[in-house]
Amino acid sequence: MRILESDLRGKTVMSEEGLYLGILRNSLADDKTGELLSILVEPSEDIDPRLYHLDDVGHLVFAFDTIRSVKDVVIIGS
């Protein structure tokens, strides 16, 4: 099953342990291949964003290959 990158935007992102991480806002792709490299998540107020890798504007950055499931929510693994 294929999922468009635009279909991911706005989805809730949770850890495998059930922790609400935030809302998926964007993704980063390789300019040459178009391969998705990472996703950018607007952090939830329930987490300490300092415990995660952040981009310049404060979004959580997760490697694309940490995505374990995409349904109603995006599940991120370690």
Domains defined for the chain, CATH in brackets: 5-76 (2.30.30.240)
pLDDT single digits (tens) 20-69: 999 999 999 888 988 889 999 999 999 999 999 999 999 999 999 999 99
- Does the structure show a pLDDT above 80 at 71? yes
What number is the average pLDDT over the span 12-22? Answer: 96
More confident residue, 6 or 59: 59
Cβ neighbors of 64 (< 8 A, separation 6 or more) are: 27, 36, 37, 38, 39
